[in-house]
Structure 1
């Protein structure tokens, strides 16, 4: 359902929440009507949702502003009763990496330049308990009807049976979009541009298409990712409700930005090495990463640019000390960055200002984006783009959709990229890409 664009038309949003229970979030997601939504992040509520009460879409360069205006129009006059802030109406979704889509009939055909959904039914799991929410917009949005549906949803979810054993699958074929020799040539060409002064950094990505012997179970993959990557943002975006619907899912360590009131939280995540087989080797690799000039240079470019991008909105920007962040398969250089806003700035204004960070795009931004377009033999779609949520107060939380895959029945396309700077070695960068496939690849296998 779309949003009325006549400012004199009331959207008629009605939202009601009640405490509830489900056997597990995995079982709840499996039981949700399509299209489904999943979101969780460090120190955030976990949301499992289904159906569409309202949707906002946009394309082109003004998509951030267009989406923000439509979301404000939808949420500003709502009749909302919620027992906790996390269960209040939120729209979940994201954006394409590039302003202009180039894959209208291909892999990303179902994903516009921006799409956000107000779910019809939502389960919100917080440290204060679990809440069931029902949202409605338009002709069927009366308090009586919504309260009746809420009770039905609460009873239905409480009666959902625990999901059975996780369904495994096996990869039967793999197809790379970028052969190794082509990769070497692309990295060498990028290094030449950097040495000529045309670029300071560019992030080049690869795509890996796999075929499975059984249909992918999205709830199972997200549950497994939660066990392996508990400190990452996990997300699911399904743009359509058909049986053959695509699912964008992932477990990303990279927060783009979170805004709550005047407090903004983000960080620089760039520079990568592997994990060791022993604690001693792990520590040695971490120390080597901290001392590595190439990785330190790449990381500092990202941190410096994020601080500059936040400065116009903030009365203060503070960066913590650079450190190593360890994940299951890789280790990253990480610098936490916080800011205090000097005026009421919507989270989507911050998303627009920060995307793409040099960790997934490059510097200077426009030249890096042009290089990516010219070099990569596939469309990024929503890969490495902002995904997250927005509420009525302009608060929200967005992650960068890396360590992700676009899945559909028995196929999945995985994406991974690396930052290219002046002293990048094509073979080392190739090996780093393979490491970054592993979070999703391991779960598929």
Structure 2
């Protein structure tokens, strides 16, 4: 497929080029396989992202970065101001009957805890503007081409169109050969659980803290990230799926948890906390769901999350609504307690809301400040993008951010997997270790080793 001559002429005649950036968008009459498109665009390795929403309404991939905004500190306001300045410098054209779909994609590290070497490819605050963005939304597909004005070349649209023509679904052919699969500091982690449990029994200063741990898997060859994405897509259709590349690093999250969505001044968020394993027997599953809904530890943990979110957003919102009792969120392997929350916003700055909400007690603890202090002082290693807010802002300052759990950091032939669990004063180290072990499963299956 090539750009129609009449459309090409329209672009040439309509684009003024008097701003620093130009972004044009066309609608495609077919839907390419976006993961296979990433395979075709491997010469952009290190400058790609992928995002699929949990409700399947949105799937997109970005190829090539026109610009990157990265800071060595958590700079929510600076990133937002940077995006506003880019929009002022942008000439945006659409050649269809819908809105322009350009996204500013990225996120923030979990905290300002000093980064360890494995996270060096990512800024503490890190957002990118894609050169090519392919968006499938509500059954329609769009190609967005963005470039600096002096580099803008309509023929580059034909280059990506030729790759889109070739991007039919490809079966996974690689079976990875694993060299090692080991937990990192597992005994030390259990001892840390015992330590925090005793601390909670002795003091009311900390009521819940989420402790994360890691597992490292090394392969004979480089990890095929497209295969990992495809396996994730095949395995679990009820989660978000995200890839964010920078340098030699590739971060994947297959998370059920949304931090927030903002659409036309309305905030949508939810509380997910409290987990139980799911089986293949539906009779047993009904019993497990009932057990989860009536389990005091899980209910206690879930209530913390709901109360914390409401406390964090009250000063930025009006007319707040939420369910008074949790329901069950079903994933392929797990059940979670779930509460929907909605509010009208007083602030237009989506990143201000992201900053307020992160981390929820489901990823940090309660009270928030004390839990974060404990994590930064006591936890082994650096979380980096694990549990961090990742997502996008569009041209209308609408956006969605996920909580990047069920995740891993890939660098060449090594994958570091992350999982965590909420610790309260009646927690048991062995059972919490088993829970985190269960949460490694999505990434183990994505890697093809399970």
Q: What is the TM-score normalised by the length of structure 2?
A: 0.90
Distance 2:80 2:113 in 1: 18
Contact 2:172 2:227 in 1 (8 A): no
Shift of 1:157: 2.0
Contact 2:31 2:136 in 1 (8 A): no
1:220 alignment counterpart: 227
Q: 1:421 to 1:139 in 2, by over 3 A?
A: same
Distance 1:161 1:225 in 2: 18
2:260 is the alignment partner of 1:249: no
Contact 2:267 2:344 in 1 (8 A): yes
* Segments of 4+ moved more than 6 angstroms: none
Distance 2:347 2:280 in 1: 48
Distance 2:137 2:97 in 1: 9
Shift of 1:263: 1.4
Distance 1:85 1:411 in 2: 42
1:55 alignment counterpart: 68
Choose which of 128, 138, 149 in structure 1 pairs with 2:156. 149
SS of equivalent to 1:52: strand
Distance 1:132 1:24 in 2: 13
Q: Which deviates more, 395-404 or 120-129?
A: 120-129
1:4 alignment counterpart: none
SS of equivalent to 2:438: helix
Q: 1:294 to 1:162 in 2, by over 3 A?
A: closer
Shift of 1:24: 1.5
2:49 alignment counterpart: 37
Q: How does 1:223-372 map to 2 (within 5 A)?
A: 223-240=230-247, 245-320=248-323, 321-341=325-345, 343-372=346-375
For structure 2, which runs of at least 5 residues remain unmatched after alignment?
1-17
Q: Which deviates more, 185-194 or 417-426?
A: 185-194
Shift of 1:64: 0.7
SS of equivalent to 1:299: helix
Q: Which deviates more, 376-385 or 17-26?
A: 17-26
Shift of 1:138: 5.0
SS of equivalent to 2:121: coil
Q: 1:86 to 1:328 in 2, by over 3 A?
A: farther
1:399 alignment counterpart: 402
Distance 2:336 2:139 in 1: 33
Q: Which deviates more, 290-299 or 317-326?
A: 317-326
Q: 1:138 to 1:367 in 2, by over 3 A?
A: farther
**Which digits, 9 at most, give the CA deviation of each residue in 1:43-90, with x for residues without a partner?**
4421112111111112324x1111111111112342111336575221
2:114 alignment counterpart: 101
Shift of 1:382: 0.8
Shift of 1:22: 5.5
2:3 alignment counterpart: none
Q: 1:344 to 1:102 in 2, by over 3 A?
A: closer
2:198 alignment counterpart: 192
Distance 1:23 1:364 in 2: 46
2:80 alignment counterpart: 68
**Which digits, 9 at most, give the CA deviation of each residue in 1:118-174, with x for residues without a partner?**
111111112242111111125324xxx2x3322332233224465344422243312
Distance 1:316 1:295 in 2: 28
1:5 alignment counterpart: none
2:208 is the alignment partner of 1:201: yes
Q: What is the TM-score normalised by the length of structure 1?
A: 0.91
